[in-house]
Amino acid sequence: MTLPPPEPVRTNVHEVHRLEIATGAGFGDFRERYERAVPALDAGRLGELVRSGAPWAAIRRLAEENAPHDFIRYWDFDVTSVMRLAGDRWKAVEYLMGNHTIAQRMFTHDPAVMLYAPLRTAIYEDAEGTVWFTVDQPSTRFASFGDARIAEVGTELDRKLAELLGYLGAPVPPALGG
């Protein structure tokens, strides 16, 4: 029996909640605290484990060591330094923050989740001097896959994000359980 070919294009319309949290701190202070709480990926050690074909348990241990608050910083970009060249004076930095061992629990069901894992976050200062942390609510991103197992991890990420915000001394949005 021959299966019909898959649809060449699928469109999934879904609602996402962007959370914008006034940090109550200065830009440099909040950025520094965030980057300490969400350390950069130890790419050297991870690369060694990958090259050696290490067991998944070793990858998990490294992630636990690298992510004291469950999240790792995979990438950051100081938007301020580039946009200043165009005359803009905003302070802003963007990040990719996540945890590959958590993402794997969704990836195993649908590799397309990597569109949203790691999470994209930003810290910026507005015209009034208020410093904001912004992120799309994980559960609203991952619920779009229509798989309860993926949605469950998205809800878990909401809780972990709430814990991180609490640790940073920022308000926790009610949508995250705050």
DSSP calls for 43-107: HHHHHHHHHHT--HHHHHHHHHHH-TTS-EEEEEEEHHHHHGGGT---EEEEEEEE-HHHHHHHH
What pLDDT does 67 receive?
97
Cα–Cα separations (whole angstroms), residue 20 to 4, 61, 102, 125, 158 = 44, 32, 24, 12, 14
pTM of the model: 0.93
- For the chain, residues with pLDDT lower than 50 are none
List, in order of start, the domains of the chain with CATH numbers. Answer: 18-170 (3.30.310.70)
Contact predicate 70/164, CB 8 Å: yes
Q: pLDDT for 106-145, tens place per residue? A: 999 999 999 999 999 999 999 999 999 999 999 999 999 9
What pLDDT does 178 receive?
60
Q: Quick one: angle between helices 56-66 and 43-52, nearest 10?
A: 180
What pLDDT does 2 receive?
83
Distance CA 61, CA 94 (A): 27
Cα–Cα separations (whole angstroms), residue 64 to 44, 51, 156, 165, 173 = 16, 20, 16, 19, 26
Cis check: omega of the bond before 6, within 30 degrees of 0: no
